Every structure is written in structure tokens, then in C-alpha cells.
Amino acid sequence: MPEHAGNFIVVLRVVKVLEPITVAISGYDMYLPIPQEGQLVKKRETRWHDLTAIYTFNLDRSAHKALRLLIDRGDTIPPPPEK
């Protein structure tokens, strides 16, 4: 997508639900709706509306570095600069 140009962005698709997904936290606000088989993982745009958006992960941000282990980037994409 144009807004992600120049960034290493990942989205997650739920391929198969192996066990029924239930909410384990009492009073959870469903910021991350229950994933649906075959769909991309989504999040609510705000905590006050039911509008949803595809949940994207920028692997160049330190908060998402653990997800990098899932991706073989090879030598084609340089690592992000150290902060």
C-alpha cells in the first residue's frame, strides 16, 4: 500500500482456527476482534467506535522486532539504524 512505502510492513492472516477462540479477560473491550479463519487480523480504529482496520506491524520498529524472527529477509533489506 502506498502509505507503507519504504517500510517493512507485515500483516497476519488466520489460515486455520484449530480451537474455538474465546475471550479470556473479563470486560475486554475487543480492541482486537476475535480472528476469523481466512481473514487478516484486524483492530478497532479507536476504542470508541466499531470501525476496524487491518492490523499492520512495522518490523523496523523496536516494538515489533520479535516478529522479525518469523521472516527471512535475506540480505536484500538492510537492518534499521540503531537508536
pLDDT tens for each residue of 6-16: 877 888 899 99
| Structure confidence by residue, pLDDT tens digits, 10-64 | 888 999 999 998 888 898 887 788 889 999 988 887 766 667 888 888 877 766 6
| Best CA proximity match to 33, nearest among 56, 51, 6 | 51
Q: What is the pLDDT of residue 75?
A: 47
Of residues 55 and 69, the one with the higher pLDDT is 55
Q: What is the pLDDT of residue 74?
A: 55
b/e code 28-45 from CB counts within 10 Å (16+ = b): eeeeeeebeeeeebbebe
Q: What is the pLDDT of residue 55?
A: 84
- Cβ–Cβ < 8 Å for 41, 34: no
